Structure formats: C-alpha cells, structure tokens
Structure 1
C-alpha cells in the first residue's frame, strides 16, 4: 500500500495548523516505514487529503474514478471557522455546507479528537470517522539550554523576568483579546505571542489589538520557528493558550511535550485527555490571571502529568493508528 499525502496551497497554509499537521503525518509515517508520497503524479493506492479547495475536490473525484480510496482529514469545522477571518461568522453556515460535500464523498474521515468527530457527526455525516491525534515528536521538545538562550537573546529577556508565551493565528477564536486583557492585569510579566495572519483578512478589531491597542509588556513576534520557538516552549515560565475553539491544538501538544506549565481555556475539545491534573484550566480573564499567578509563584506544577499526555500522542503511537485506519479503509 502506498499513500498520497495531499496539501493544496502549501505555501499559503504552511504556517497554519493544517500545514503543520501534514508535516506531522509525514514524520509519523516515516516512524513506521509506511510507503508514501506527496506528489499527486506518483502512483498510489490511497490518498489522504488535508485541504478543501478545488484541486482537492478534483483529486478526490479522479482518485475514486480510478478505484483508489480517499480519506479526508477533518481539520476544519463550522465551529472553528467562526471568529477568524473577516465575515467568517456570516458565511460559517455556508462553509459547513461546503465541508460536508467533501466529508460525504470520502471513503473515510480522520479527525484529531473525539470532540471534532462529534461535531462532524452532528452535521449528519454518515461517512466512517476515526479520531487520530495530530501527534507530537517528543524528541524535538523539552529543556535545551542552547535553544533557551537563543530565545532569551532574541527577545532581550532580562535575568529573572517572568515570561508567558502563546502561539496562534491572529483570531478572536484563538483568544487574542483575552491574552491582551490578561497581560494588562499582569504588568510585571512579559507576554509574547508567536504566529501571525495577513492583516488584510482579519477584522479591524483584531488589527487594532495587534498594531496598537495592547500594553507595553505584550510582544507580537510574528511567525518564528526553529530554536527560538522551541526554546520559548521550554524557556518561558508558562504557555497560555486562551483559544475558544480547537479540533485539537498542536501547540498545546508542543507545550506539554516541552514539560511546560500549560494554562488553557476550559473548552470541550480537551475533555477526555487534558484535565486539571495535567494543565491549569480557566474560563475567563480573572481565572486566567489566577491560574498564571499560581504557576509563576510555584504553587502549581503539573508538567510531568502534562508530559504523560504528550507521550500518549507521540508519533510512534499515532503512526500505528494512522496505518490501521489506512488498512481498514483499503479493506472496505
């Protein structure tokens, strides 16, 4: 069996969760020696499609016409499309209708969590759906003095200064507004947001937050990867992710894998795999401030329990789950 991993518009999506997810799929399949390609012109038996554009639809139809199996990856839902781009809330119902064309036509759907599976099922989709985590490469994360120094040097962090980081697109859904409100209540702490979105496609309110309406202790660092980002994951004092909706959250896995103190919004996607034993959960600005103060004072330390969660979703485990789904679909 040879698998085609497909990502349409890779240059545009490479900074997004979907762009990172397909890289995770490649690494996972390498772990178990599964034969795969990313070139649609190659021969293959099954295509694992990660995007929803016109070329993805064409590929699906052509593959099935030629007797090949098609798996759609359920990265996207109506719920996580809302509160993102300009007019996203107005067109969200249409977006769901559009997604359902792909989900209904596929031979199977892979989605990261039981929560995202339940959302797709609630759309009336009868296609078989398999929850498989995006996975995490444990060896890439964790304490590393050289990477942590690269992080501190890049941002000019002074000795003893407390630093809270986040990573995500410039979306209200990601909680960028609450991130700034929390920073306002903690002026002695440095807050750094990694990630970016083209400012032309985000609402004016979000552009104002990023460009000028944030306190001096907040830094919007843009898209940074490699040693600086990985050093931030382990070298910060906390990872604070106030996202209101996720299908899983790769950056959450990265934080847990880094043995970082993790503060999250208490939302349904984490049910069954992250709880108060492995992260500090809160629901509003005051709750986030309280949780971060517990972490920064040393009162709360759940890093080892969080790391165990990351271990349960490591690439070696995820790869076997992916291949099992591929084999099951090939037998249909």
Structure 2
C-alpha cells in the first residue's frame, strides 16, 4: 500500500454534487483518509492509480492519458443502461446508445468498482471481462444518529406538529425513482404529510413529471428542493417512515441513510436489495395498494424494524468500506 497515491476524479462536480455520485466521491475521500492512503482530486498532480467516477469527454481523455502513462485505471460503475432509463428527457430512446458509450469506459479500464453484487452482474452481462469489485458507497453512521434538536428543527422548518404523521423520500425528479407512485400513494393517505427531498433542472425531465412537481400533486405532498444538513438529517430520523419506490438502483445511498437513522423503511421489491436488505429490516411492496398497506402498518405501530435496519447500515459503514476499497486498489496495482 505504501507509495500508492490515488487520483479521485469527478467531472462536472458542481452539476452533480447533489446526486448520489456527488455524495459517493465524498465517501471515497473519507475512506482513503481512514486508510491513510494519499489522494488528490487534481488530475495535474502525480498519482499511481486513477478512480474515475464520471463518463464525460474529459473523463475519457483522462482515462486514455492515464493508460498511456502506465497508470492504473478504475472506473466506478455508478451507472448502467437500466438505471439511465426513465430519468432525463429522451433517456429511454438514448439508453441503447448510453450502454454502448458506457462499455467504452468499462472495457478500457483495468478494473471496475460498483456498489452491489446486482450492479456487478448487470455490468458483466454487457460482456465486460475485467475484474469487478462490489464495494458499497458506504455510510457515515454518526452523521445519522437520531438527534432530538435536528428532529425539532425538521418539524419546525415544515411547520409540522409533533403528532403529524410524515413520510419522506429523497432523490432526483426521475420517473425511475418512483416519484409518480409516491404522489399516488399520498393521494390515498390524505391525513399524512409526504415530503420528497431533492431537485433537478426541471427542463431536463419529461413535462408530465415537471407538472407533477410544480402543480399536479395533492396538498399533503411537499417538494422542498435540495436540503442538506440538520433539516435533512432530522427528517431522516424524525419522520414516521422513509418510502422509496424506486424501480432501479445500483445501491441507493438515501436508503443507507434511512437505515442508519433507525428509520422505518418501505421499499419497492427490486433485485438490487437481494442478499443485503431483508424483510426483517424493511417492508417491501410492488404496487400502490401494497405501499399504502405497508405504510399504514408502519404508521399504526404494527411494525418496528428499526434495529434490524440499523444493522444493515452497520454492515456498510464507511470504516468497513474503506478497508474493502483499499484492498481493491491494492489488487488493481498488482494487475
């Protein structure tokens, strides 16, 4: 491990700082600090291995330059064709081209790091043969320890009484994230406040989703935009449930945040959670009626899976991820 310096690269950092990828690179930095591995985020610095998190033209140029200079290159498999679909305007039409484009990066890398066994299998199904290491994005547990002051700040920010039932979610305004189902479920539970944290330039998403966020939602749904810090962390533990109806993820950082917050969690039953999140820790459902039933069980106190949920987050805590990341880097340096 001695003598290895890592370049962590994120193209267009400002544009994607509010996304899961933006959060993931912060976790990578923390992981390297925990392991005492020197790193830089400046591509003009000296380095031995580059860990590329994005897929733009500058990322491609860096990949080719690094390979030519004899440096090791790891691509981070944040993205797949499957999770690109139902996101941006025209994403479904572009998805096959996006997959072809992704494969150029994945084929050119010495190795790939991706958050779950599920996303590893997807990338392998594209015909990629280089080593693929499943390493969670990780979670900083202390940040999401329930804190009464943060929970009060959350309720005061949204002018919610202590008795008001609240269900939250977080993510970009993508159909893939299940935002339409989130609103449909809220329509069936008018006495409950539903809050969706997150934002994106609304002209990048289909008009139907844009109208849903701007005006076509019931009064009990709030879209406050992107909020971080005490209000968000207070919501994660101080709400009555975290409901994430996403159709496709490579892991789901916001799910880890909810689990770490000792929160009651309701998820769509999709393959990415297989093998690491079980029904002992969360409630799974697949349609509107199922989501409503699951949330009603949680809100009426029939379910308490908080401790099992927290244990899942513990298994992906940043300290463990740091060791797995260091091991992956070492193996790539030895290739």
Give the TM-score range, shorter chain.
over 0.9
Please, which moves more after superposition, 140-149 or 165-174? 140-149
Partner of 2:116: 113
Partner of 1:322: 325
How far apart, CA to CA, are the structure 2 residues paired with 1:208 and 1:219? 14
- Is residue 206 from structure 1 mapped to residue 242 from structure 2 by the alignment? no
TM-superposed CA distance for 1:29, in Å, is 1.3
- Is residue 86 from structure 1 mapped to residue 89 from structure 2 by the alignment? yes
**Residues 253-292 of structure 1 correspond to what in structure 2 (within 5 A)?**
253-292=256-295
- Is residue 311 from structure 1 mapped to residue 305 from structure 2 by the alignment? no
How far apart, CA to CA, are the structure 1 residues paired with 2:146 and 2:58? 41
Partner of 2:195: 192
How far apart, CA to CA, are the structure 2 residues paired with 1:111 and 1:159? 40
Partner of 2:145: 142
TM-superposed CA distance for 1:146, in Å, is 1.1
Partner of 1:125: 128
Matching residue within 314, 330, 334 for 1:331: 334
Deviations 1:224-280 (A, max 9, x none): 000000000000000000000000000000000000001000000000001111100
How far apart, CA to CA, are the structure 1 residues paired with 2:12 and 2:124? 27
Please, which moves more after superposition, 141-150 or 262-271? 141-150
Structure 2's unaligned 5+ residue stretches are none
Deviations 1:124-175 (A, max 9, x none): 1111111000000001002101111111111001120000000000011000
Matching residue within 101, 104, 107 for 2:107: 104
Partner of 2:44: 41
Q: Secondary structure at the match of 1:173?
A: helix
The two structures have a TM-score, normalised by structure 1, of: 0.99
Please, which moves more after superposition, 30-39 or 45-54? 30-39
- For the 8 Å contact 2:155–2:162, the answer to whether it is kept is no
TM-superposed CA distance for 1:34, in Å, is 1.5
Structure 1 vs Structure 2 CA RMSD: 0.6
How far apart, CA to CA, are the structure 1 residues paired with 2:87 and 2:53? 19
Deviation >4 Å, runs of 4+: none
- Is residue 293 from structure 1 mapped to residue 293 from structure 2 by the alignment? no
How far apart, CA to CA, are the structure 2 residues paired with 1:314 and 1:284? 31
The two structures have a TM-score, normalised by structure 2, of: 0.98
TM-superposed CA distance for 1:41, in Å, is 1.1
Partner of 2:11: 8
How far apart, CA to CA, are the structure 2 residues paired with 1:51 and 1:243? 22
How far apart, CA to CA, are the structure 2 residues paired with 1:265 and 1:34? 37
How far apart, CA to CA, are the structure 2 residues paired with 1:269 and 1:86? 24
- Is residue 166 from structure 1 mapped to residue 166 from structure 2 by the alignment? no
TM-superposed CA distance for 1:78, in Å, is 0.3
Partner of 1:68: 71
How far apart, CA to CA, are the structure 2 residues paired with 1:282 and 1:220? 23
- For the 8 Å contact 2:244–2:266, the answer to whether it is kept is yes
Please, which moves more after superposition, 25-34 or 96-105? 25-34
Q: Matched residue pairs, number?
A: 332
Deviations 1:55-85 (A, max 9, x none): 1011111111111100000000000000001
Q: Secondary structure at the match of 1:322?
A: helix
Partner of 2:178: 175
